[in-house]
Amino acid sequence: MPTPIKAGAGVLFMKVGTHAKETLDDIIARKKKEIEDTGFAFWGYGGNTCHPQTMVQPFAKSFERKGDKVYLLMHQMNSKHFADQVRAAQYSLDGIKWEAIPDSINVLGSRYALVLKDLRAQEFDFPLEAAKVALGVSMGTPASKYIRGRVDKACLEIAPELVPGIAGPTIKIGLTAELLDPYAVYVRNGKS
């Protein structure tokens, strides 16, 4: 598959690694099995830079209306996320109406989850100068200035005016996934 880096494309960038005492390799194997068994997987995460309802859902839907798909680009990092492996039992689109997560899907130690249609090992250099923050208070900020320090995820648009003659920093992508409607959800362990 060619890289999803084309002018005007929407991508969700995320740094990934050890999570809830589970290695990235173990997470990938589990998620591929979930996709095989269920047709989709939930990829758990936290933080508000990619809040399901105010960021990811409107971002992805704006590209869906144009007939485009949104891809998750994952950059492996050293992670020290050793929170307990608490399995989420319910998910919600809006944080109000909750449904049971299928038994074949495990989301561990997360508040939110992306909905993945597939998951592929795909290595390429992502030119941060070719993308800008797509919505929110930092809208228009180049990804190279936004993805720093503790900022480890972002809804980005590949900026048409930035694609020709890209120069500047790149970041190594190792995994990609196509997001599936409803794109992102809240998750909880079933206790109100």
pLDDT tier at 153, thresholds 50, 70, 90? very high
Asked if 16 and 150 count as a contact pair (C-beta separation under 8 A), the reply is no
Q: Do residues 187 and 109 lie in contact, with contact meaning Cβ atoms separated by under 8 Å?
A: no
Write out pLDDT tens, residues 84-110. 667 889 999 999 999 999 999 998 878
Q: Kindly report, residue by residue over 32-73, the tens digit of the pLDDT.
A: 999 999 999 999 998 888 999 999 999 999 999 999 999 999
Report the distance separating Cα 28 and Cα 164, nearest Å.
Answer: 34
- pLDDT at position 162 over 60: no
Residue 158: alpha-carbon gap to chain centroid: 16
pLDDT greater at residue 77 or residue 176: 176
pLDDT higher than 90, residue 1 = no
- Beta strands 99-100 and 131-133 are unpaired
Which amino acid, 61?
K
Taking alpha carbons only, the member of 119, 114, 134, 120 closest to residue 182 is 114
**Are 176 and 122 contacting, i.e. CB atoms less than 8 angstroms apart?**
yes
Write the single-letter amino acid at 47.
G
Residue that wins the pLDDT comparison between 5 and 180:
180
Model's pTM, two decimal places?
A: 0.90
